[in-house]
Amino acid sequence: MVGASGILGDGSKPVKIHHLVKAPENTPQSISRRESWDATKPATVYKTPEMLRDGTPCTAATVILRTKGCVWWWKSGCTFCGYFNDVRDDVSADDLFAQWEEAKRLTNDFKDCKMVKVYTSGTFFEDRENPPEWQEMVLRETYERGLELIVEAQAHLCSPDKLSWVAERHPGCTVAIGLEAYDDTVLRFHCNKGFSTKTWKKSVSDLRDAGLRVKTYLLFKPPFMSEADALNFTSEWLREVAPLSDEVSVNPMNIQRNTVVDRIFRNREYRPPWLWSLVEMIERTHDDISSSNCRTIVHPTAGGRVRGAHNCKNCDAEVVAAIERYSVSRDLREFKGLNCDCKNIWKAEIDNDQSLPTPLGQGRDRRLSRVDMARAP
Ligand code: SF4
Ligand SMILES: [Zn+2]
């Protein structure tokens, strides 16, 4: 037993067992999960159909590496980010080189791929996260092979010096920044993002100066926000950030384990977005977005599942498919004739959110019986 003074009951000094670690990643399950994996193997490698920057369809390889993780997460972390489930602070440079070799082996040396997305659960070119010699190798190797490269970064880590270092090794590669929301209050209190819209705008101009491409992620429905606010705000943000970006990807919330949003979801204080809201956002913004040169993608990760964007269950597959088709065709007719009884429930929720004083929204579980829904959680 340690007293308030830090002295044990028998007068001896306690042995320091732990440095300060954040609670969720220190649960026995998280520790055993982290320690179960092999640091020489990447977390995930897969191929998907994609589009090159000139619009040509291609195959892209996505390589998700096991790294030390995001410096922001170690300090504080975004409210929805569960990447810490795939990171560990003892990943070495040798491990990362080995993971890259393994990714090549799994993809048959990037056979038939024209694009590679290299995701490190943080900022690719942050030296505290990834060893610079490894960054350099990935940048050069993908460039020499003529592969289009996408890496991710936090806005405030895009310093002009580092960006020109990157651009020298892989000219014209794409840097994706998780902006999430184009609103400082939402960034600070809903996302805990760690940077402001001003910092993001500066990073966009620095990226352009370095001749790099700008990809922006927006998060549809951060925690502590009603469905109607998510719909109205994100539509507005999309209109505003599209002209400043080469590509925008709107990511509807999917709830990752042990995050803040997971906590309020389990407490029945947060519902992932409706697929109908995504359709409505696309319809509202279509004209503005198609007149800019920006490519917009809406990809409902875990769409139709309870932890991802979903409707009533019956119509989920159909609506997800229409949204995915729209990302390729840019044709609003994909949504023609889509309907379901649950659309009225969604409409009522949006109306209520806008007329009743409940800032966190009216949304309830959509997969429970009406009786269970009416009961208090
Ligand atoms: S900056 Fe990115 S990787 Fe870091 S905590 Fe936020 S979402 Fe996660
Ligand atoms: Zn439905």
- What's the confidence (pLDDT) of residue 107? 97
- What's the confidence (pLDDT) of residue 13? 57
| Residue bearing the bigger pLDDT, 347 or 14 | 347
Q: What's CA 239's distance to the chain center, in Å?
A: 19
Computed on alpha carbons and rounded to an integer, the radius of gyration of the chain in Å comes to 22
Q: How far is CA 124 from CA 5, 61, 194, 299, 372, in A?
A: 42, 16, 17, 22, 46
Q: What mean pLDDT value characterizes the chain?
A: 91
- What's the confidence (pLDDT) of residue 12? 55
- Of 364, 175, 369, nearest to 271 by C-alpha is 364
With contact defined as beta carbons under 8 Å apart, do 310 and 316 qualify?
A: yes
Ligand nearest to the CA of 195: 1
- The average pLDDT across 235-245 equals 97
DSSP string, 159-221: -HHHHHHHHHHSTT-EEEEEEE-S-HHIIIIII--SS-HHHHHHHHHHHHHTT-EEEEEEEES
Q: Is the pLDDT of residue 336 over 90?
A: yes
* pLDDT grade for 24, boundaries at 50, 70 and 90: low
**Which numbered atom of ligand 1 lies nearest the CA of 154?**
1
State both tokens at 28. Answer: 């026995």
- For residues 349 and 16, give the distance between their C-alpha atoms in angstroms, rounded to a whole number: 52
Atom 8 of ligand 1, nearest CA residue: 81
- For residues 244 and 267, give the distance between their C-alpha atoms in angstroms, rounded to a whole number: 38
- What's the confidence (pLDDT) of residue 268? 86
Q: Is the pLDDT of residue 159 over 60?
A: yes
Q: Separation of 76 CA from ligand 1 center, angstroms?
A: 9
- What's the confidence (pLDDT) of residue 1? 37
* pLDDT grade for 328, boundaries at 50, 70 and 90: confident
- What's the confidence (pLDDT) of residue 248? 96
Instruction: State pLDDT tens for residues 60-101.
Output: 999 999 999 999 998 999 999 998 777 888 899 999 999 999
Instruction: State pLDDT tens for residues 241-285.
Output: 999 999 999 999 999 988 999 999 988 889 999 999 999 999 999
* pLDDT grade for 8, boundaries at 50, 70 and 90: very low
- The average pLDDT across 235-242 equals 97
DSSP string, 294-325: -EEEE--TTTTSTTSS--SSSSHHHHHHHHHH
Residue 78 CB less than 6 A away from ligand 1: yes
Residue 121 CB less than 6 A away from ligand 1: yes
- The average pLDDT across 142-164 equals 98
Q: Separation of 371 CA from ligand 2 center, angstroms?
A: 18
- What's the confidence (pLDDT) of residue 370? 73
Q: Is the pLDDT of residue 185 over 50?
A: yes
| Residue bearing the bigger pLDDT, 345 or 36 | 345
- What's the confidence (pLDDT) of residue 141? 98
Q: Is the pLDDT of residue 373 over 50?
A: yes
Q: Is the pLDDT of residue 368 over 60?
A: yes
Q: Is the pLDDT of residue 223 over 50?
A: yes
**Which numbered atom of ligand 1 lies nearest the CA of 81?**
8
- What's the confidence (pLDDT) of residue 29? 73
- What's the confidence (pLDDT) of residue 369? 76
Q: Is the pLDDT of residue 22 over 70?
A: no
* pLDDT grade for 18, boundaries at 50, 70 and 90: very low
Q: Is the pLDDT of residue 377 over 60?
A: no
- The average pLDDT across 174-197 equals 98
Long-range contact list for 343-351, CB < 8 A, 24+ apart? 343/276, 345/312, 346/227, 346/274, 346/276, 346/277, 346/311, 349/227, 349/228, 349/274, 350/227, 350/228, 350/231, 350/277, 351/228
- For residues 79 and 83, give the distance between their C-alpha atoms in angstroms, rounded to a whole number: 11
Q: How many CA atoms lie within 13 A of 122 on its CB side?
A: 25
Ligand 1 mutation target, pool 70, 80, 301, most atoms within 8 A of CB: 70
State both tokens at 193. Answer: 């993002």
Instruction: State pLDDT tens for residues 107-130.
Output: 999 999 999 999 999 999 999 999
| Residue bearing the bigger pLDDT, 320 or 6 | 320
State both tokens at 230. Answer: 């998510």
**DSSP conformation class of 2:** B
User: Where are the alpha helices (H) located in 330-365, listed in sequence order?
Assistant: 342-355
Q: Is the pLDDT of residue 9 over 90?
A: no
Helix or strand or coil: residue 353?
helix
State both tokens at 180. Answer: 């999430």
Residue 70 CB less than 6 A away from ligand 1: yes
| Cβ-count burial 18-31 (b if 16+ within 10 Å, e if not) | eeeeeebbeeeebe
